[in-house]
Amino acid sequence: MIQNSFVHRLSRVVVEVMFYGGILCCLTLPWAMPLLGELMNYGVEILRPLTFMLLLLGLCALYILWQLKAMFRTLVGGDPFVAANVSSLRKCALASFIIAGIFFVKEILWFNLLTATYIIIFALLGLFCLTLKDLFKQAVAYKEENDWTV
């Protein structure tokens, strides 16, 4: 039974806007960063690695949003407890850990207390996705067993 509630529709719209907005941000990053560098008085020696790091972070975030879009498709189809969603949650966890790792490297190179918070947030997000993955995996197993029961 599919409950197409306001929150569900709003979540789907937010994910879509974030996904396409993220693509736009990643595409314009090489041109926007020199302007931001001038505004913030960053030198080229910091601007290039920062641009590369932001591009990697953006690509990981887009990958997570892509997986969320795939999971929404199964939800709309009325069958969210499928092996594809287990795989999507595992991929989201991996991308979250990669983001935490990128922030960890940034923390070593340019210490910032806020970056330490991002490391904790994305590491916890990765752990949450792994926990949810195991929950979905168990639900898929129960569902398949129930489907075989007459």
Q: Is 62 helix (H, G, I), strand (E, B) or coil?
A: helix
Highest mean pLDDT among 36-40, 78-82, 126-130: 126-130
pLDDT at 44: 81
pLDDT at 31: 93
Handedness of CA 133, 138, 141, 142 (dihedral sign): negative
> Mean per-residue pLDDT for 70-82?
87
Q: pTM of the predicted model, to two decimals?
A: 0.89
88 neighbors 70 (Cβ within 8 angstroms): yes
- CA triple 7-11-15, angle to 5 deg: 175
102 neighbors 53 (Cβ within 8 angstroms): yes
